[in-house]
Structure 1
Amino acid sequence: MSYVIFGKRIASEYLSIGTLTLVGVGSWLAMRGNKAADAAEKSSGEPQITANSSAEEAFIRDYVKREGGKAQLSAGSPPAH
C-alpha cells in the first residue's frame, strides 16, 4: 500500500521507517542531558542547592555536611538490612 503525500507516492514501508527513526532520534536527544550543567556540577564537587532563602540554604548545607560525614564513616562496611 502507498500514500500520496505532496503529490508523490510514498510506500508505507518508508513511512514506518521514517516514523521509527524520528521517534528514536527524538528519544536520544531528550535523554542525552545538558552538558554545561553536568560539567558545572562535576567541577564544583557539590550538588547545586536551590533555596528560597538564605536560612533554608544554610539548613541544607548543614544537613548535607552532617549526613555526608555519616556516609563516609559507613562507606567501608556493608549496609545493614
Structure 2
Amino acid sequence: MSYVILGQTIKNEYLALGTMISTGLGAWAATRGGSKKAEPQGAGKAALEKVKEAVPFNASSSEEENLLDSIRKFVADAEKEDSKH
C-alpha cells in the first residue's frame, strides 16, 4: 500500500522507517547532555558550610547529644581523611 503526499507516491515501508528514525534521533537529541564546566574546587565546601549553618542540630536528651557528637566526629574524621587525598 502507498500514500500520495504532495503529489508523490510514498510506500508504507518508507513512512514507517522515517517515523522510527526520526523518533530515535529525537530521543537521542533530547537525552544528550550539554557541555558542563567543572565546578571550582572551593564551591563544594562553601555549599557544605551553608548547609551546616542552616540546619541546627538540637538534642533533647543526653543520649541524643551523644549520638550527634559521634556523628559530628565521624564527619570531621571523614573530612580530614578526604583532605589528605
Q: TM (normalized to structure 1)?
A: 0.53
Q: Which runs of 5+ in 2 are unaligned?
A: 54-73, 79-85
Q: CA deviation at 1:62?
A: 2.0
Q: Which residue is equivalent to 2:40?
A: 44
Equivalent residue pairs, number: 59
Give the helix-richer structure, 1 or 2: 2
Measure, in 1, the Cα distance between the counterparts of 2:49 and 2:18.
49
Letter in 2 for 1:13: E
What does 1:1-81 align with in structure 2 at a 5 Å threshold?
1-35=1-35, 38-39=36-37, 42-45=38-41, 46=43, 61-63=49-51, 70=75, 73=78
2:10 maps to a residue whose letter is: I
- Runs of 5+ unmatched residues, structure 1: 48-57, 74-81
Query: TM-score normalised to the size of structure 2?
Result: 0.51
* CA RMSD in angstroms, aligned pairs only: 3.8
